[in-house]
Amino acid sequence: MKKQILTSLILATLSASALSFSLTAAAEDGFDRTNINRVAEDGYDRTNINRVAEDGYDRTNINRVAEDGYDRTNINRVAEDGYERTNINRVAEDGYERTNINRVAEDGYERTNINRVAEDGYERTNINRVAEDGYDRTNINRVAEDGADRVGANRTS
């Protein structure tokens, strides 16, 4: 009877230790891979709450981060080079602001409904239309390319 009790005690001890080894399984590089905390290949935490991308940037439902670490959320969506692309302020590729209020051209000159600016920065509006080299071309005073005045009253060569 003592042998049976001793044998069952030894078997129970071995079974308990075998089960405890299988609960904490380690990944190939030694990081812990359990049901609670699942760790990615490079050691970043991949859980249901905080899911981390391969390079360690946080990819959660709240804050989704792009490959290079720029924030891509519903509120603030950021382009690949980090410029902000939101519903309020949409930014062009080179960082100039492209919004409904102030739409900016590729070289940074402002192109809005009120003040429309030409490619070289001269103002082209409904009131004052300016020529490419900056001379004023309006309905009242029409100026030639070299600055000579060309109006109905005074025509200068």
pLDDT over 50 at 20, yes or no = yes
Residue 14: the pLDDT is 77
Residue with tokens 């391969």: 54
- How far is residue 40's CA from residue 28's CA, in Å, rounded to a whole number? 11
Run of H or E including 98: strand 97-98
- Return d(Cα 133, Cα 37) in angstroms, integer: 66
pLDDT at 21: 55
Residue 99 structure tokens = 């919004």
**Using one digit for the tens of pLDDT, what is the confidence trace for 133-151?**
544 554 455 555 555 555 5
Q: Does the pLDDT at position 11 exceed 70?
A: yes
- pLDDT for residue 48 is more than 50: no
pLDDT of 86 above 70: no
Residue type for position 3: K
